[in-house]
Each structure stands twice: as structure tokens, then as C-alpha cells.
Structure 1
Amino acid sequence: MDIHIRDIRSGGTFNHFCQRLGIENATQKILYSPFNYPEQSLLCVPRYLPNTNQVNTLNSLGEMLLPVIEANKGRCFVLCTSYSMMRGLAEYFREKSHLSILLQGETSKGKLLEQFIKETHSVLVATSSFWEGVDVRGDALSLVIIDKLPFTAPDEPLLKARIEDCRLQGGDPFNDIQIPEAVITLKQGVGRLIRDVTDRGVVIICDNRLVMRNYGETFLKSLPNSSRTRDLNKVIQFLQNK
């Protein structure tokens, strides 16, 4: 049996995927992307990110991101890991910006995408259903912002059961389950940006754990080899030098 699928590697291997399906002794082949990521894309984990434990985190994050979004004249996906952050950022942008702010849930997914492409200078704020299976090519999308690493909530019933099973087998749930699944989800979100050899743009991930925690390197190694910066001014320069 042949299985052809994108974005299922974690840490450069298919081991997590094979383990989930009970596949043993599988022949693995990696077909690399035709995209020139260092030239076409820039990855930014901004400096001076707001403390996620503070009450005003949402407003501080919106204040940090809005100048970049407006410099790019919209053309932006903001992918959130929670509905509360999604709604909060959309409300903030609507209050502070003249751009068209589209929000997941206000109409169907298909209509939102159609409106996003048609309006040109718009911002789509969304959560889980827009992290994958969305293909926007060309100038309509040149900025993807991700609010934080997409770890599944530990109290999610299916994840709780898998964590318990992993522990019973002597495994390490965080490294064996939670990190690999978050890596795959992050790859899917980042993959919304470069969809064609002529696409160009920036991914901003607003989570210091990528550079402050040991496991951050696992995430970074799984992403395309884009150029990198922590300076939002350089992000604006990259976006404006198309």
C-alpha cells in the first residue's frame, strides 16, 4: 500500500505517523519541495513578545502586529489556537484599522476565502479549520501570523486517553505525542503561505518557546528553511521589497 500525504513528518521522520497507524518496517521516501524558501519567505519570532500570563496580552499582541499588517495592506491570515484569541484579535483590528477584517464563523469557509481573495486588502482571522486545506496563491496572501505553538489542550478527551496509554507503555507523552502533533499542525499552518514558485511572504510566530525552550529546535527543524529574523522592521522591509 502506498500513502502519499503532505506535512506528516515530525523531527524529519515519519516515525510518529507510522506509530499512530501501527505501521512497521515501512519504506519511507521524502520528495522535497520545489520552492526556494530562503529567497521566497522569511520566518520571524518577534522580540519583546507580551507575557502570555498578563491580562492585556491580547491588546499588546494586536498593537505589536498591526503596523506590520497595515504595512502589508492586509493580505494576511491570522491563525489562532483558541476561539477567544481569534475573536479578541479580530475585535482589536476592527477597532484600530481601516482594513477589512474577516472572521471565521461569520459566514461559510468558502465564502470567507472568496471574499478574502476578492477584496485584496483584507485580513482573515481564523482558527483550526483554516490551518490546513486552504490554497491562496499569489499576491492575495503574503503574510501569515500564528499566535502561538498549536499544542492541543491537555484536557482534550482523546489526547488524555493517548497520554495515559503512552505512560502505561513507559513512554514520555510530551515528547512522544504532544510535541510531534503540534509540530505537524504548525507545519500545516506555515504551509498556507508559499503555494507556488512565484509566491513570496512572511510567517510570524508569536511564541518565544521557539527560541527559549529546548524543544523549540524540533519545531524549527521541521519548518521550511526560510530566512529568519526577530526584527519586525526587517519583516516590513521584506514585505515591501517585492
Structure 2
Amino acid sequence: REAFREENHEIYNDLLGILELVGSHLKLVEHPPDEIVPLLRRTGELSTSLRFLIEEDDDSYVYWVERRGRGCFLQATPIDVSRLLTERLFDRVDTAVLTSATLAVAGGFDYVQKRLGLDHARTLIVAGHFDYRKQALFYVPPHLPDPRSPGFARSAATEVTRILEHSRGRAFVLFTSYQQMRLVYEAASLEIGYPTLLQGSGPRRALLEEFRSTPHCVLFATAAFWQGIDVPGEQLSCVIIDKLPFAVPHDPVVQARIESIRRAGGNPFYEYQIPQAAISLKQGFGRLIRSRSDRGVLVLLDNRITKQRYGQVFFDSLPDYSFTTRIADVESFFDV
């Protein structure tokens, strides 16, 4: 940030001066029309935010510059949100009830309680009303290479094609990165005998509507389709996820939180990265079973979940799906 300040101090000073000049002129208006009041408030907010982003040295925040296209965005976010939530929410109410279908990790709330600063919260896990063992099959192909290896995309495309033959399309194929999505889509799309959609080829809402209205459709997508999507019934009968959804390690917020845990003597992989990934995996798989009549297959193309010791945390966090490593079981499930 110091280098950014030095390089851009003239632009910063000019912009701050313009905001203050505009604000001072707006205050001189004796009987301002309705549209002036929010404009005055906005100039004040922009000035305060700009000062915070450029001048503030609060080490409980992480600051970074993000460039997208021709735009430049100054960002700041708290490394630990627990203090802010305590001051601005929990200390101001007598009772707060937090509910979620996905926040428990390995059968407990230790992770989310620590992240939110809920040291003395009472917790309860209520059994769901879905029969996951009958309604869903969880399949992990044992033969695929490590998702980080160069040959993974080609092998994954072959496996996706096989699975979609058994599911007769009707699937979300979800990825943790745009690059992996494009590689697998390019390798598999010509081999898939069903209509395919690719995130980025149209607005999110339009793609969802087309998926819902197109029989046997297959949607290739990323994180934008992991949450808040509801496609009940047979139209969505399979959800395939490319790999365990660990947060991108070079993300500034992730880096800052990892370093904060490490400085405190903790283990960021087990205390932060694994629990966060377990929650994300549950959210991604949660697209499939949305009612008692839904049936489908959940696929994870990342067999580290069966080979690495930490994989048990993911199994203990997921609902009680039937589990298999045999493609024949997938075929049998869809033949019922």
C-alpha cells in the first residue's frame, strides 16, 4: 500500500479535493431539492471511504487493489469479523438466532463459532427430513489423476461424458475455476449427446431458465451457481464437482487469514481451509436434493477425499449419502 500511495498520491489528493469541494458547495444550497440530499451524503461517504482505503493503517484489515478490465478497485475487508459482529450486532440484541443447512463441520459448530465470535452460543443440529441414503448416491471415481496435475482436465472430461450418458444429461457440472471449466467443456462438449450451456454465454438468470426449460440439459458453471439455485424434480438429477473447493490461496483475504492464524500459533489448513472447503462442498451438493421426491447422483472428481487423512472431515460434514467408487453403481441408480 505504501508503494501505491507514493505512486498515486497526486491523483488521490486531486480526487479528495474534488469530493470536498463538491460537498462544500452542496452545503451552501439553502433549500436543497430532494435529489441534493443523497448526493451530499454520498460525497461524504466517498471521501471517508477513500481516506480509509488510502490512509488507514489498521492491521485488522487487509487492503488490496483489484484490476478488472479498464477499471481499478480499491478494496478492504476485516481479517477477523468476530469483533465487528459482536460490537454491531450481538451486543445490541437480547437474542440472536442463526440458522443454516450447511454451517456444521464434522458434526459441530466449532469453526463457525470461532469465525463469528460466538463463544457462549447454544447449538443444535436438527435431523433433516430427506432420506439421503435412498435419494442420493455419492460417487468418487478412484482412477482420476490429482486435480492439480496437467492431465486432469482431459481425464475429467472423459469421466464427465461417461456419467452424463448414465444420467441422460440433466446435470450441473460445477468448477472451482473458470480455466478448468473451459478446459473440460472444450474437451467434453462435442462428445456429450445432450444440450449444453456454458456460464458466460449469457446472463445467469437466462441460463437457468434455459436449463429448466430444456430437457436433458447440462450446465457447465462455476461458483456463481453453487448457492441460491433451486431446480426441483428430474430436470436436475446429477451434480458433478471438479475438485475439493479449497479457497484460492493467492486471494488477499485468504492469505491474510492464513497468516493471522499462523502468527497465533494455529494450523490454518485444518482450522480454516478445510472447514471452509467442507461448507462449500455441502453448498454445491445442496443443489441436488431439494424435496422428498428428488433423486440424483453427486459426483466429486477429486479422489483426495478418499486418499488423504483430511478427507474424513468432508465425509463427516456431508449428509448420510450412499457412497460408491464404482461407475456401475451410478448406472444402476439411474436404471431404477
TM-score over 0.5 for the pair? yes
**Which amino acid counterpart does residue 232 of structure 2 have in structure 1?**
R
What is the Cα deviation at residue 51 of structure 1?
4.0
Task: Name which one, 1 or 2, has greater alpha-carbon Rg.
Answer: 2
Contact 1:72/1:240, CA 8 A, preserved across alignment: no
Partner of 1:23: 118
Q: Deviations over 1:59-109 (max 9, x none)?
A: 221112202202221100101111111112222222222311111111111
**2:114, 2:292 → 1: CA distance?**
33
Match of 1:100 among 181, 192, 195: 195
8 Å Cα contact 1:143-1:203 kept in structure 2? yes
Measured in 1, the distance between the counterparts of 2:118 and 2:98 equals 11
Instruction: Supply the distance in 2 between the matched residues of 1:6 and 1:71 (Cα, whole angstroms).
Output: 29
Partner of 1:212: 307
Q: Secondary structure at the match of 2:298?
A: strand
- Percent of aligned pairs with the same residue? 41
Q: Are the equivalent residues in 2 in contact too, given 1:90–1:101 (CA < 8 A)?
A: no
Q: TM-score, normalised by structure 2?
A: 0.70
Secondary structure of 1:129's counterpart equals: helix
Assess, with a 3 A threshold, how the Cα gap between structure 1 residues 8 and 51 changes in structure 2: closer, same or farther: closer
Match runs of 1:14-163 below 5 Å: 14-163=109-258
Instruction: Determine the C-alpha separation between the residues in 1 that align with 2:192 and 2:304.
Output: 29
TM-score scaled by structure 1?
0.96
Contact 1:43 1:228 in 2 (8 A): yes
How far the C-alpha of 1:54 sits from its partner, in A, is 4.3
Q: How many residues in Structure 1 have an aligned counterpart in Structure 2?
A: 241
Please give the secondary structure, in 1, of the residue aligned with 2:189.
helix
- Extract structure 1 runs of 4+ deviating beyond 4 A: none
CA distance in 2 between counterparts of 1:45 and 1:239 reads 16
1:168 to 238, 245, 263: 263
Q: Which gives a bigger RCO, structure 1 or 2 (Cα 8 Å, sep 6+)? A: 1
CA contact (8 A) 1:49 1:207 kept: yes
SS state at 1:152 partner? coil
Q: Is the 8 A contact 1:69 1:76 kept in 2?
A: yes
Instruction: Please tell me the residue identity of whatever aligns with 1:139.
Output: E
- Quote how far apart the aligned CAs of 1:53 are: 5.0
Q: What value does the CA root-mean-square deviation take over the aligned residues?
A: 1.2
